[in-house]
Amino acid sequence: MKRKTAHGVFLNIISNPFLFLLIIFSVAMNKPMNDQKTTGKLNSYLALGDSYTIGEQVAARENFPNQVVAILKEKGIEFSAPQIIAQTGWTTDELQNAINNATIKTSYDFVTLLIGVNNQYRGRTVENYIPEFESLLKQAIHFAGNDTAHVIVLSIPDWGATPFANGRDRSQIAKEIDAYNLVNENIAKKYNVHYVNITAGTREAANDASLLATDGLHPSGKEYEKWATQVAHLISKYLN
C-alpha cells in the first residue's frame, strides 16, 4: 500500500471543503480563550460596611454586593457568593470589632468598603472618623492581597433626602455627609484605591420613591443596581 505523506494528506483535506470546514470548526471550539468563561477561575469578593452593604429592607439578592456578582456573571465572569461583613447601624469601630471576630480568608480578589453614615447619624465628629476609616481601608487593601487596584470605596449616601428625615435639618445633614465624604475620598486617593461617588444619585430619592425601600430610609434594589453597575464596571476592567 502506498503511504501518504503529510503533504498529501493536507492536499486531500483542502480539496474537500466539507472536511476542511469541519476541522476548522473543531479547532475553534477547542481553542482555549483568555477569559473567565473558559479559565473557570472563581473569583472572591469581600464587602465591608453597614446597612447599605447588607441591604436592609431588600432581599439578599438585591443588595449591591450580590448584584455586582450577578452582573459580572452575565459577562461570563464567575464569582463565589460575596462574603459580607456588615450590619444595620454599624459605625466604623463596630465594623472593626466585627472584622476582628470574623473568619476572613487570607486574601480576596476584590474588596469594597462603605462605612460612616452611622458615625454621622450619632453625631460623631469627622475628626474621630478619619483614623478609624483609614485603618479600615488599610485592612481592606491587605484583604485584597495588597493590590490597591482591587479595592473600591463607595461614598456615604445622603439619608437626609429620604422621608425618614422629615422634620430634620436636611441641609445640615447634607453638609455633614459631604464633610464625611470629602474625608473618605481623600483617604481613598491617598492609598490609590478606586472611589465611587454614589451620593448625588441617592439624593434623587427626594423626588423618586422607587429608589427607596418600604421603610422610606434605605435604598431599594433599583438604587442598589446603580451602585452595583459602577462597581461591576471597575471590576470587569481587570478580569476581561
CA 66 to CA 162: how far, in whole Å? 24
Residue 117 buriedness (CB in 10 A; 0-12 / 13-18 / 19+): buried
Of the pLDDT bands very low, low, confident and very high (cuts 50, 70, 90), residue 105 is confident
**CB distance 112 to 153 below 8 Å:** yes
pLDDT of residue 12: 53
- pLDDT value at residue 40: 67
pLDDT at 16 over 70: no
Compute the mean pLDDT over every residue in the chain, rounded to the nearest whole number. 89
Predicted confidence at residue 41, as pLDDT, reads 83
Mean pLDDT over residues 7-12, rounded?
A: 48
Residue, of 162 and 13, whose pLDDT is higher: 162
Span 210-223, average pLDDT: 98
**What pLDDT does 106 receive?**
85
- In the chain, the domains with their CATH numbers are 1-31 (no CATH), 41-239 (3.40.50.1110)
pLDDT given for residue 4 in this prediction: 47
**Rounded to an integer, what distance in angstroms lies between the CA atom of residue 175 and that of residue 163?**
18
User: Between the CA of residue 156 and those of 41, 85, 118, 181, what are the distances in Å?
Assistant: 32, 17, 10, 6
Supply the pLDDT for residue 21.
Answer: 46
Query: Cα separation of 143 and 156, whole Å?
Result: 21
pLDDT tens per residue across span 184-205? 999 999 999 999 999 999 999 9
Q: How confident is the model at residue 38 (pLDDT cuts 50, 70, 90)?
A: very low
Q: Which residues have a Cβ under 8 Å from the Cβ of 103 and sit 6 or more positions away?
A: none
2, pLDDT greater than 70:
no
Q: Enter the C-alpha cell of residue 45.
A: 469578593
Helix (H, G, I), strand (E, B) or coil at 176: helix
**238 closest CA partner among 138, 154, 143, 147:** 147
> Cα separation of 207 and 210, whole Å?
9
Could you tell me the pTM of the whole model?
A: 0.83
Q: Looking at the predicted structure, is the pLDDT value of residue 23 above 60?
A: no
